[in-house]
Chain A
Amino acid sequence: MVVKVLYFGRLKELSGTTEEAVVLREGARIEDLFAACAAARPDLRKFRASLVAARNQEFAAWDTRVHEGDEIGFLPPVSGG
């Protein structure tokens, strides 16, 4: 399956892109998706503990299963206001 991944803030700068399409095996969870994204970019991994994930624009636990066509965002600590 293919999912869309969005990067924001410092993750966008680290990954060098705002979004990308990632191919995953069926049954994969958000944690697996992050590992796949970080495999090519070791710098991403050290931010893992400071991130939360969103699936289709809702906060989602890292063990949430992803589905074909999902939009997954990796969100650094928010600092709006």
Chain B
Amino acid sequence: MSRNGTDRVVIVREAIDTATLAREVRADEDGAVATFDGCVRNHSHGRATLYLEYEAYEAMALAKMNEIAAQVHEKFSINRVAMVHRLGRLEIGETSVFIAVSSAHRAAAFDACRYAIDTLKKTVPIWKKEFFADGAVWADGELPFTPKEPGGPVPAETPAAKPASN
């Protein structure tokens, strides 16, 4: 089983080449590649979105993304993970986050891909500002927390705050 040495976990400021990532995550022993392509939609809470801007606590965000990749290897019988998040200004239809997981069989690839994007959205310090014709707002987010799962990696420190909503 491949470990993080063949994973690709990065934060970029240019367009994400999803086709290349999906192709490169596959190896000959794989029978499945599951991908998640998160893209900019043209509306939010009933308003027409013009574009988005993403910013990050970049060093911590990259560390958290690598933690997620490591967790995915521990939890699921998968081969390789690609996880890329883009920062800066993104236009409608552009990819903001892309995750690809390869495995011998499809179930593990689907499950791992879902776990990776769900955990990224809860725990990785990245923020999105939505621009509308009449102003801009920081998107309602989730209070980050460190996932604590039986048998999973135990975080060194636990935040006092818990998710207030969602």
Contact = CB atoms under 8 A, between A and B. Distances in A.
Interface residues of B, number: 40
Nearest to A56: B60
A80 interface: yes
Contact of A57 (B55, B59, B96, B160): B59
Nearest to A80: B126
Interface string A37-81: 000000000000111111101111111100000000101111111
A50 B96 CA distance: 24
A10 B85 CA distance: 20
Interface string A15-55: 00000000000000000000000000000000001111111
B38 A60 contact: no
A80 to B, nearest CB: 3
A53 B158 CA distance: 10
Contacts of A59: 144-146, 155, 157-159
Interface residues of A, number: 27
Given A8-B55, A77-B140, A51 B161 contact: yes
B96 A54 contact: no
A8 B21 CA distance: 29
A63 B128 CA distance: 28
Contacts of B38: 81
A23 B125 CA distance: 25
Contacts of A6: 57
B123 interface: yes
Contacts of B141: 76-79
Contacts of A9: 55, 127, 129, 138
A21 to B, nearest CB: 17
B142 A79 contact: yes
Contacts of B121: 78-81
B122 interface: yes
Nearest to A59: B159
Contacts of B127: 8-9, 76, 78-80
Contacts of A80: 54, 56, 61, 85, 96-97, 120-121, 124-128
Instruction: List the 7 shortest-distance A-B pairs measured between CB atoms, nearest first.
Output: A80-B126, A77-B141, A79-B141, A9-B127, A79-B139, A57-B60, A81-B121
